[in-house]
């Protein structure tokens, strides 16, 4: 462990992404500052200036002695904050607490813990500081190692995330638009999947690896999620076609899609997914990672999150 400045367990370090969501950030920030004052919370803050700046900001805050961090933004901002915590070498990650003020487009991570998009309620939750020590996923690809706190996947969902960058201006609708675009144009790939010491060879729509429940702006692809059991919740959506998806659209949102005969679910410590003759996109928490082969494992009870 490296040297740290004076430890500050009571104060919050706020990292705000002015580019998240589709909103008037300066107006919302004024409201947040007022609410922080009303709650009498002790805090310092920084705005991100570029993509992934969150990682450096978290590391500097922890070095300065902060142990409580608030992520102001969407799932991408939170993912980068989590990566900052996992990559720092000053303290054990389980000594860090993260709260979320949801400003994003999808805000999928908060849904597992039944938190709404209300900033007022989020600050209420943060001020009570009830926490859960949640598992964190680790993705290893040929190019990098990335941590994630919500849902990662390869195939159709990676394709959608790649399309989303052109569609976020449509706000909450952007996920549905990207999903429909993918339904029409996405070409499924064959994969070799190593899971629980078994090798499967399947043509798949996607392989989803969940810690939490929701992705794609409120869709549920994982079954019986437990965010602290040290296991990945895997969903292999096999050769689902356009008609299957259209007919089952409500089940993508209700979670009942996991009972479809072309969908298999597993719990595992580790999974390796190797695409055959293709390089499908990989996404983690709605962020595009890379394309190609991946291995995912899990770090049990890695970070404290403030929850409802």
Ligand X SMILES: Nc1ncnc2c1ncn2[C@@H]1O[C@H](COP(=O)(O)OP(=O)(O)OP(=O)(O)O)[C@@H](O)[C@H]1O
Q: Report CA-CA distances (Å) from 124 to 64, 129, 150.
A: 26, 9, 23
The one-character DSSP state at 222 is -
Size of the site for ligand X (CB under 6 A): 24
- 19 near ligand X (CB under 6 A): yes
The one-character DSSP state at 219 is E
Q: Quick check: 156 and 240 in contact, CB under 8 A?
A: no
Residue ranges in 230-269 that form contacts with ligand X under rule CB under 6 A: none
Q: Report CA-CA distances (Å) from 64 to 36, 97, 144.
A: 21, 15, 27
Nearer to ligand X, 98 or 195 (CB): 98
DSSP per position, 135-180: EEEEEEESS-EEEESSEEEEEHHHHHHHHHTTTGGGTTHHHHHHHH
Q: Quick check: 85 and 58 in contact, CB under 8 A?
A: yes
- 49 near ligand X (CB under 6 A): yes
Nearer to ligand X, 56 or 229 (CB): 56
- 18 near ligand X (CB under 6 A): yes
Distance from the Cα of residue 198 to its chain's centroid: 27
The region of 1-9, 68-76, 127-135, 205-213 touching ligand X under the rule CB under 6 A is 68-76
Binding mask 156-195 for ligand X (x = CB under 6 A): ------------x---------------------------
Q: Which residue is nearest to ligand X (CB)?
A: 74
Figure out which of the listed residues 15, 32, 68, 75 binds ligand X, where binding follows CB under 6 A. 75
Residue ranges in 84-143 that form contacts with ligand X under rule CB under 6 A: 104-107
The residue behind tokens 């899990």 is: 298
Binding mask 265-304 for ligand X (x = CB under 6 A): ---------------------xx-----------------
List residues near ligand X by CB under 6 A: 17-21, 48-53, 73-77, 80, 104-107, 168, 286-287
């Amino acid at each position: 462990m490296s040297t740290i400045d004076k430890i500050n367990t009571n104060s919050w370090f706020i990292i705000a992404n002015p580019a998240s969501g589709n909103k008037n950030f300066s107006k919302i920030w004024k409201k947040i500052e007022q609410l922080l004052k009303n709650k009498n919370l002790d805090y310092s803050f920084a705005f991100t200036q570029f993509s992934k700046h969150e990682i450096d900001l978290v590391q500097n805050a922890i070095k300065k002695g902060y142990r409580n961090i608030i992520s102001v933004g969407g799932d991408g901002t939170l993912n980068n904050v989590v990566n900052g915590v996992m990559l720092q070498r000053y303290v054990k990650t389980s000594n860090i607490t993260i709260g979320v003020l949801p400003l994003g487009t999808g805000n999928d991570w908060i849904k597992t813990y039944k938190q709404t998009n209300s900033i007022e309620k989020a600050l209420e939750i943060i001020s009570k500081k009830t926490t859960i020590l949640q598992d964190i996923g680790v993705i290893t690809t040929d190019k990098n190692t990335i941590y994630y706190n919500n849902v990662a996947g390869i195939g159709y969902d990676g394709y959608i995330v790649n399309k989303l960058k052109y569609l976020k201006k449509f706000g909450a609708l952007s996920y549905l638009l990207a999903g429909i675009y993918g339904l029409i144009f996405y070409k499924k790939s064959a994969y070799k999947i190593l899971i629980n010491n078994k090798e499967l060879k399947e043509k798949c729509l996607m392989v989803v690896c969940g810690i939490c429940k929701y992705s794609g702006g409120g869709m549920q692809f994982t079954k019986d999620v437990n965010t602290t059991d040290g296991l990945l919740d895997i969903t292999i959506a096999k050769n689902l076609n356009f008609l299957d998806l259209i007919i089952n659209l409500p089940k993508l949102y209700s979670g009942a899609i996991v009972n479809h005969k072309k969908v298999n679910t597993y719990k595992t410590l580790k999974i390796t997914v190797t695409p055959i003759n293709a390089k499908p996109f990989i996404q983690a928490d709605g962020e595009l990672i890379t394309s190609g082969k991946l291995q995912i494992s899990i770090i049990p009870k890695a970070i404290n999150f403030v929850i409802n």
